[in-house]
Structure 1
Amino acid sequence: MDGSAGSATTGSKIAEPTGAEPKGALAGIRVIDMSRVFAAPVGAQILGDLGADVIKIERPGVGDDGRGYGFSWVPGKDGIETRHSSFFTVSNRNKRSLTLNHSKPEGQEVIRRLVETADVLIENYKVGDLKRFGLDYESLKAINPRLIYCSVTGYGQSGPMAALPGYDGLFQAIGGMMAVTGIPEGQPGAGPLKTGPSLVDFVTGHNTALAIMGALMYRERTGEGQFIDIALLDSSVAMVSHIMQDYLISGTAPPRLGNGGNGGGPADLIYCSDGIIYLTAGTDEHYRRLTVLMEQPELNTDPRFDSNFKRGKTNRAELMDIINTWSRQFTADEVQAKLDGAGIPAARYNELADVWNDPQVQHRNLRATTPHAFAESGTVDLIQSPLAQMSASPATIRMAPPMLGEHNDEVLRELGYDDAAIAALKDAKVV
C-alpha cells in the first residue's frame, strides 16, 4: 500500500501540526532496518523516535514475522487487514515499509542503492546468511565505508552456539534471569519463572540502539564506520546485574525471593483490606519510620530485625507477616497516604487498566494517541518513548507503524527509480 499514516502526538490527545516540531537528535541519519520480530526492531524504533529516517525492509506479501505475534491486532477500516499485531505495533513506529525480495539480484541492487545513502544497517539474520547475497558487512563496506552495520543474533557471531536460533525465553533460562525469578523454595509453586514481557529482547533492543549511537559518535570523530555484534545472550547475562555480581563476589547463588526485594529490606508486596501496595523500606531510617508509623517502635531494635540483612533475608518472612497484619487493617489508599506522609517509598499495585488511570502516568503523557490512516478508529494508542522528555531533542512519535509495503513507491523514487522501473520490479515480484 502507498500513502502516509500521518504525524502523531507526544501525549494522550492528538496534537495539531504546528510546523515547529523539535528537531530529533538523529535527524538526517538514515537507517536500513532488515530485522524482524522484536529485539532488533525495538533498537531501530528507538533510532526512529530520536529522528532517524528508518526504512524497514520486509518480505513481499509476508512481511515481518512479528506482524503475526501477540494476542491483539489493530482493527482496520473498511475491511482492511492491518496486520498490526501487538508485537509489531509496539516496535515499528516511525518507520517506512519497503517490501523487497533480497534473494533476487534486482532486490540486492535496491539494497545497495539504499546503502549508498544510509548511515546504519540493522539485521538479525542467522550468522553469515546475508553473505550469500553479497549483503554482509564487508561487501557493503566497499560501497559505503562509513556504514555502521549492526548484526543482532541469539548467541553472537562466533562460538559453538553461534549458528543456533534464539528467542527471549531461551535467554531468560540460559542467562540466569529465571534462576533468580520465581517463588522462594519451600513455598507452593516454588521454582524458576519467566518474566511476563520479553525483557531480554527489550533490553537487547536498547543495547542495539546504544551501540549504534556510540558508533555514530565514533564515526563523527574518525570518519570510520564499523561492524557491531549484538547478542541476546550477552544482554541476558548482563541484565541479571547486581544479583549476578553477588554470585561473582561470593560464589554463592542468592535465593529466589518471589516479590521480595533483593537489596535492603523490608521490600515486598503488602496486603491491605482492598488492594495491594509494594513497600520498600530498605534503609535503616525508612525502617525506623515504618516501626513508628505502625506504632510498634520496639521492632526497630528487635534483635530479629536490627540489621538490613536480617530484615531482607534471614527473618524476612517473619517481618512481612507483622507488617501485613498491620496493613490489612486499612484500605490501600489509607496505607499509601500513611507511607507517603512518613516519607517511606511505596507504590500501589496496578493492573494493566489501572496503569493508564494513574495520575502520574497521565501527567507524563505516557499514552500516545497517534493518527493511523488505515485503522478503524483513525488512531492507535502507543506507549510513549521514555526519551520524550529531552529538553532540546526529545524522542517523538511522528508515524504509526507502517502497513506492509506502504512506502514502496516513495522510497524507490527517492533512489532514482522511475514509474516504469518500479512497475518492472513489481512485475518481477521483487517488491
Structure 2
Amino acid sequence: MAGPLTGIKVLDLSRILAGPWATQVLADYGAEVYKIERPVSGDDTRHWGPPYVQNSDGTDTQESAYYVAANRGKQSFAIDITSEQGQAQIKQMVLDADIVVENYKVGGLKKYGLDYDALAQLNPGIIYCSITGFGQTGPYANKAGYDAMIQAMGGLMSITGEQDQLPGGGPQKVGVAVADLMTGMYAVSGILAALHHKNQTGEGQHIDLALLDTQVAWLANQASNYLIGGDVPKRLGTAHPNIVPYQAMKVKNGHIMLAVGNDRQFKKCCQILGAPELAEDSDYASNDQRVANRDVLINKLEALFLCHDIDYWLEHLSAAHVPCGPINTLDRVFENPQIQHRQMLFELEHPTAGKVPQVANPVKFSATPIEYHSLAPTLGNASTNKA
C-alpha cells in the first residue's frame, strides 16, 4: 500500500540531525529520499559512536546508532558537490525533484550553483528548505549553531533543571537534541504546507528555518507566562509553573510522576492519600491557590506519598483516574505493554548486520499506513543513474 507522499522526490543535502530527521519523516510517509553524502566519509553522524551497528561476525559496521536513528528509508548517493561533475549530477537530479532540504552555512551552496535561486531557474516548482542555526538573515546569520548552544541561547536551559538552591540545581540541557528535532518537525510541516501551495499554483518556494527561531517558538506557555505575566520563569525541576501538584513525587521505594490537571482530580488524589480535608482547605481548593501555596502543599503531600511504594500509588491513583506514571528507564519503556501494542519497536534488515531495531514513526494513518522498507543506507548504496 502506497504512503501518502508516494511519488514525491526529495533531494536531501543535509547532515547531522535536524535535516535528516525531517527527511526521514518524509521517507516514512512514502517520499523517495535521495541522501547526498561526501564520498568516503559521508554524513558526520555515521561516526558518532559507539555504539555502532554490528556485523554478524561481531565487528562494527562503522554506522553509528545515532546515524541509524535518523536516516531510514533513504538512498545514499556519494557525490562530491565541490566538483563540476558533482554539481552537474545534483542539477540533473533537481530537474525531477519536488523538494530540496539542506543545512549548509548561509551562502555555502551558492558558490557551487546549488542555492535556491540557481536551482529554481532549473525547476521553478522546487520547494527548497534551508535549515541553519540562525536563519538566512540577521546579525547572527553567518554563525554556526548547534543544538546545545541553541537550547541555552533560546531560553530552554533557563527553565530546565532543578532549582538553584537545591542539590543538583542549575541549568540543564534536555537529554535529546530537542532543538534539532523540533526544527526537523517544523521543516516537515512547512514543506507539506509549501507542497499544498505548489499543488494549487505550481509555484515552488524557499523555506528559511532557524534552530534559534524554532527554540523560541516552542517555549509555548513559558514564553506566554513571561510576555503576559512579566515574571521571568525559573527552573522548577519536574514541577509545572502553572499547575500544582504536577511533578515527580518521592514514594517509599522511588518516585512517581503525578500530573493532577484540575480541581476534581486533586480532590480524588487527596481521597486516595487519606487526606480529603486538603481538597476542602481554602489554601488548596483551587489551582490558583495551590500554585500560590505550592511549597507548603508539596511538603504535606510528600509526607503522605512516603507511606507506600510505587506499585501501590500507581494502582490506586490510576483506578481513581488521577494521572500518574512511573519514571521509566529506556529498558522499561520498550518493555511497556502499551508501547509494544502500539508497535513502536520494530526491526529492519541491514545488508551485513542482520536485523536492526528501530523506533517507529508515531503517526497512524487509517488509509495509508506507514510501511518501512529499508534501514539507514550504507554510504553510496545507490547509483546516480537511478534517480
Q: Same fold (TM over 0.5)?
A: yes
**SS at 2:109 equivalent:** helix
SS in 2 for 1:93: coil
Give the Cα separation in 2 of the matches to 1:144 and 1:77.
44
Partner amino acid for 1:187?
L
Q: Identify the residue that residue 370 of structure 2 maps to in structure 1.
A: 395
Instruction: Supply the distance in 1 between the matched residues of 2:368 and 2:173 (Cα, whole angstroms).
Output: 36
Which residue is equivalent to 1:246?
225
The within-5 A match list for 1:61-210 is: 61-78=40-57, 81-210=60-189
- Within 5 Å, which residues of 2 pair with 1:302-341? 302-312=281-291, 314-341=292-319
Give the 3 Å change call, closer, same or farther, for CA 112–80 of structure 1 in structure 2.
Answer: farther
Structure 1 spans left out of the alignment, 5+ residues: 1-21, 416-431
Q: Which runs of 4+ in 1 moved over 6 A?
A: none
Distance 1:195 1:44, change over 3 A: same
Opposite residue 34 of structure 1, the aligned amino acid is L
What CA deviation, in whole Å up to 9, does each residue of 1:196-249 have, x standing for no partner?
A: 100000000001111111111000000011101010011110111111111111
Counterparts of 1:70 and 1:297 in 2: how far apart (Å)?
52
Q: What is the correspondence of 1:323-402 to structure 2 with a 5 Å cutoff? A: 323-375=301-353, 378-387=354-363, 389-402=364-377
SS across alignment from 1:228: strand
In 2, Cα distance between equivalents of 1:183 and 1:39? 28
Deviation at 1:111, TM superposition (A): 0.4
What is the one-letter code of the residue matched to 2:89? V
Q: Distance in 2 between matches of 1:213 and 1:43?
A: 11
Once residues 296 and 172 of structure 2 are traced to their aligned partners in structure 1, the CA distance between those partners, rounded to angstroms, is 24
C-alpha contact 2:45 2:64 (8 A) present in aligned 1:
yes
Q: For 1:142, what is the secondary structure of its paired residue?
A: helix
Residues 210-225 of structure 1: pairs in structure 2 closer than 5 A: 210-225=189-204
Q: What one-letter code is carried by the residue in structure 1 that aligns with 2:226?
A: Y
CA distance in 1, matches of 2:314, 2:204: 52
For 1:191 and 1:281, locate their aligned partners in 2 and report how far apart those are by CA, in whole Å.
26
* CA separation of 1:149 and 1:80: change in aligned 2, threshold 3 A: farther
CA shift, 1:280, in A, is: 1.0
Paired residue for 2:386, among 411, 414, 423? 414
> In the TM superposition, what is the alpha-carbon distance from 1:181 to its structure 2 partner?
1.0
Aligned residues of 1:57 and 1:100 also touching (Cα < 8 A)? yes
Structure-1-length-normalised TM-score: 0.87
8 Å CA contact retained: 1:37, 1:87 = no
* Per-residue CA distance 1:5-47 (angstroms, 9 max, x = gap): xxxxxxxxxxxxxxxxx21110000000000100111001110
State the superposition RMSD in angstroms.
1.4
Q: Secondary structure at the match of 1:320?
A: helix
CA distance in 1, matches of 2:8, 2:62: 28
Displacement of 1:395 in angstroms is 2.9
Report the AA paired with residue 98 of structure 2. D
Aligned counterparts of 1:320 and 1:176: Cα–Cα separation in 2: 27
Question: Whose relative contact order is higher, 1 or 2, with alpha carbons under 8 Å and at least 6 apart?
Answer: 1
One-letter code aligned to 2:8: I
Bigger drift between 148-157 and 324-333 goes to 324-333
Contact 1:80 1:374 in 2 (8 A): no
Deviation at 1:182, TM superposition (A): 1.3
Cα separation, 1, equivalents of 2:280 and 2:235: 27
The offset of 1:86, in angstroms, is 2.2
3-state SS, counterpart of residue 286 of structure 1: helix
Q: Secondary structure at the match of 1:356?
A: helix
- Is residue 46–residue 64 contact of structure 2 (8 Å, CA) maintained in 1? yes
Deviates more, 1:63-72 or 1:244-253: 63-72
Aligned length: 387
Deviation, 1:323, is: 2.1
1:344-373 alpha-carbon deviations (Å, 9 max, x no partner): 111111011110111111111111111112
Task: Kindly provide the amino acid, as one letter, of the partner of residue 337 in structure 2.
Answer: P
Unaligned runs of at least 5 residues, structure 2: none
TM-score by length of 2: 0.97
Q: 2: CA distance between counterparts of 1:86 and 1:78?
A: 18
Partner of 2:4: 25
Q: C-alpha separation between the residues in 1 aligned to 2:285 and 2:233?
A: 21
Q: CA deviation at 1:300?
A: 1.1
Cα displacement (A) at 1:320: 2.2
Percent identity among equivalent residues?
A: 39
Q: What is residue 16 of structure 1 aligned with on the other side?
A: none
